Amino acid sequence: MKPIRTFFHILVATLREIFDENAYQRFLLRTSSAPSVESYGKFVCERDAAMTKRPRCC
Amino acid sequence: MSRIGKILIWTLVAVLGALSLATVALHRGEAISAIWLVAAALCTYALGYRFYSKFIAAKVLTLDAMRATPAERLENGRDFIRTNKWVVFGHHFAAIAGPGPLVGPVLAAQFGYLPGTLWILVGAVFGGCVQDFVILLCSVRRDGKSLGQMARDEISKTAGIVAFVAVISIMVILLAVVALVVVNALKDSPWGTFTIGMTIPIALLMGIYLRFLRPGKVLEASIFGFILVMAAIFAGQWVSQTPTLAQVFTFSGPALAILIIVYGFAASAVPVWLLLAPRDYLSTFVKLGTIAILVIGIIAVRPTLQMPAVTRFINGTGPVFAGTLFPFAFITIACGAISGFHSLISSGTTPKLIARETQTRMVGYGAMAAESLVGIMAVIAACTLQPGTYYAVNSGAGMVGQTPQAAVATISNWGFPVTNEQMDAMAHRVGEKTLFFRTGGAPAFALGMAKIFSDSLGGSAMAIWYHFAIMFEALFILTVLDAGTRVGRFMLQDALGHIWKPLGRTSWYPSIVVTSALMVGGWGYFLWQGIRDPLGGINSLWPLFGICNQLLAAVALCVATTIIVKMGKARYIWVTLLPLSWLLAVTFTASWHKIFDPNPLIGFLAHARQLVSGPATADLGRKLFNDRLDVAVTGLLVLLVAVIVIESALQWITVISGRKQPVTKEAPFVATRYAEETA
């Protein structure tokens, strides 16, 4: 069972990283803030700069 | 496992790989199962990864697990973050896998399944995977620097400028060609247009949901967006069967092109969180899921390949695009074999996430092998169609005849029987009025994919699967369009800021409007040119895109070779020099053909001469200008890359001959604080 659990753990972690959920958690930790519309707004502002410069391949 | 056990297993993999490749390559005159292609691919990647990438890692790049990566040294919780290697792998794969490995192999299937398959396997193992791996490691050792910065630092300032021009050019051509693929897939298709149109409000809704209702719950919003998209696919069927609504969502090619150009401009100007980010999440969600289902579907159904191994069109008379097997097959399939665009990702976000140098092998080499497998799946999807159907869907009216009757007669005369009734029945099964002249590769891929999915469920719901596949491809492409236009806009702002400072301010609205208009105007012009092309547009634009992409790969391999030489590893120069030499041979020959070939279907100048000697038309001047513009773009890129190659070669010669002391711009060695962690 352990390998299956590890697989799903990694899958969820990968999805959370791809979908920026981990990035938001790190932002909350870094800025010592709680999840809220305001903190997500600040996160999005910070994230926008990186997002717009991130190429997507053909 | 014991040493003998390992030797035994790898010998078995090698034997199975050789057997599968022999079956794929040597069978003639009878259909083979697609599973042979899958087995050949998996064994080739396994052997390439286990032996070749390990050799590169140990001997050429000498990966050092004790050396701290930028993610450790510069960790800031924002760009530089030590991340689990599987997470980085998934992240990197999601960024490099776009519509390219799906469309290119479908187009190249006109030569038969064999040339494309062999190029995808050999190109990936010895070219694409090596490029991605080496560039990723080089960037990791240089604090995550971009390809352009590395070209400037390691070769010369000129190389940096050339890399910039190459990147901008490839983006303009890439965006035009992918937009053309979408237009050709959606023209006169109310079902497809409605579904894709609905993804815009769905993305906006997701944006608002994420921003104000459930901040940060991206996975949740993506699942919710996906359910809405599936609902839109089902609703699309109803729209297409309701005459008044069907009329509203039926657009010609030029009308769709205008809509996409307007959309591209708007998407470049609205806030990222509102459209770009949610669409990106939704597209990634659909992309990862669909690719996984496609792989499972092909393994479960094990479809038979209907296309011959090699067709008569290797002589250059192909109806999908004109040109001989060499060099055109090798520029048509870029992503899946080797793609210069990947070097931008390998020197972008990924190097800032790598926790251990040794992980660059799995992420760089491994993710490209995974993308190459997607290319093999695309070959299978295209080649499971009856060849007559494949050519009828993928050929422009200018190539096979202006009417469906003329097209089926031409294609049947080539020895690929197809009838109007078969095509009508197929169109009816997928809920379309017609499938003739749907150039661009997307509809043919969607048909193949729908057939595989439908067969796996006993042959039902072909129409739903077809439109799901079209939605999947178009969503991919529109994401590339959104993100590409923005990235191009930023690059232009960066460059123009050197001329006049305010233009470099990314938040200054006049600068946003000007640079967005320049980017959209650039790709929009080429898109318009493709739409008006009687040969289907893909015939001239896809090779141009392939040349640009492979030239960018040549730039990346020049950088990689220079760094290897400067590292004192000149005896292993062949690792990057061989794929570089092949790419230069391919791209320079293809460029020569595209400019000077006497066949007007291939050469831009010959086409212009044909126009001049033909009857005068109102748009003659514009068509002539287009041909000359294509000549100028191709010629300029070849010239620029030739400059980089010469500058790089001079560096190699001076270093190898001992006339110059090699100085690399690597960040100084710092020992990792995580030495106890297993790599």
Torsion angle, alpha carbons of B282, B284, B287, B293, to 10: -90
Question: Which DSSP string do the residues of A1-58 spell out, in sequence order?
Answer: -HHHHHHHHHHHHHHHHHTTHHHHHHHHHHHT--SSHHHHHHHHHHHHHHHHT-----
**B519 contacts B493 by C-beta, under 8 angstroms:** no
Looking at chain A, which residue has its C-alpha nearest residue B341? A57
Among the listed residues B172, B182, B177, B176, the one whose alpha carbon sits nearest the alpha carbon of residue B253: B182
Write the CA distances from B36 to A2, B374, B514, integer angstroms.
33, 15, 52
Q: Which position has the higher pLDDT, B479 or B157?
A: B157
The reported pLDDT for the residue numbered B228 is 95
In tens, the pLDDT along B315-340 reads 999 999 999 999 999 999 998 999 99
The reported pLDDT for the residue numbered A51 is 63
Residues 6+ apart with CB under 8 A from B335: A57, A58, B96, B97, B98, B100, B101, B104, B341, B342, B371, B375, B549
Interval B87-104 mean pLDDT: 87
Tokens 């093999």 found at = B376
Spatial distance between the Cα atoms of B633 and B629, rounded to a whole number of angstroms: 6
CB of A31 within 8 Å of any CB in chain B?
Answer: no
**B475 contacts B282 by C-beta, under 8 angstroms:** yes
Among the listed residues B187, B190, B184, B186, the one whose alpha carbon sits nearest the alpha carbon of residue B247: B190
Is A55 within 8 Å of B487 when comparing Cβ atoms? yes
Is B211 within 8 Å of A52 when comparing Cβ atoms? no
Question: What distance in Å separates residue B277's CA from the closest CA in chain A?
Answer: 7
Spatial distance between the Cα atoms of B244 and B247, rounded to a whole number of angstroms: 5
pLDDT over 60 (residue B224) = yes
Residues forming beta bridges with residue B354, ordered by sequence position: B83
User: If pLDDT is split at 50, 70 and 90, which confidence band does A17 have?
Assistant: confident
pLDDT over 60 (residue B679) = no
**B444 contacts B473 by C-beta, under 8 angstroms:** no
Spatial distance between the Cα atoms of B497 and B489, rounded to a whole number of angstroms: 12
Among the listed residues B24, B229, B192, the one whose alpha carbon sits nearest the alpha carbon of residue B121: B24
Spatial distance between the Cα atoms of B101 and B245, rounded to a whole number of angstroms: 34
Predicted ipTM? 0.87
Looking at chain A, which residue has its C-alpha nearest residue B76? A30
CB of A32 within 8 Å of any CB in chain B?
Answer: no
The reported pLDDT for the residue numbered A55 is 67
Of B334, B335, B490, the CB nearest to A53: B490
CA pseudo-torsion sign B599, B602, B608, B611: positive
The reported pLDDT for the residue numbered B678 is 58
Spatial distance between the Cα atoms of B394 and B441, rounded to a whole number of angstroms: 6
Q: Which of B 68-107 lie inside 8 A of A, CB atoms?
A: 77-79, 81, 83-84, 86-87, 89-91, 94-100
Of B97, B281, B483, the CB nearest to A54: B483
CA pseudo-torsion sign B192, B195, B199, B200: positive
Spatial distance between the Cα atoms of A55 and B342, rounded to a whole number of angstroms: 9
Interval B112-136 mean pLDDT: 98
pLDDT over 90 (residue B654) = yes
Write the CA distances from B49 to A14, B24, B126, B363, integer angstroms.
22, 21, 10, 11
Tokens 């080797």 found at = B338
Residues forming beta bridges with residue B304, ordered by sequence position: B33
Spatial distance between the Cα atoms of B168 and B554, rounded to a whole number of angstroms: 15
Residues 6+ apart with CB under 8 A from B159: B151, B152, B555, B558, B559, B643, B644, B647, B648
Query: Which of B82-96, B446-460, B651-665 is predicted most confidently?
Result: B651-665
Number of CB atoms found within 10 A of residue B172's CB: 25
**B354 contacts B363 by C-beta, under 8 angstroms:** yes
Tokens 């009856």 found at = B386
The reported pLDDT for the residue numbered A34 is 93
Beta strands of B430-523 (E only): which ranges? none
Spatial distance between the Cα atoms of B4 and B1, rounded to a whole number of angstroms: 8
In tens, the pLDDT along B346-395 reads 998 899 999 999 999 999 999 999 999 999 999 999 999 999 999 999 99
The reported pLDDT for the residue numbered A53 is 62
Global model pTM greater than 0.80: yes
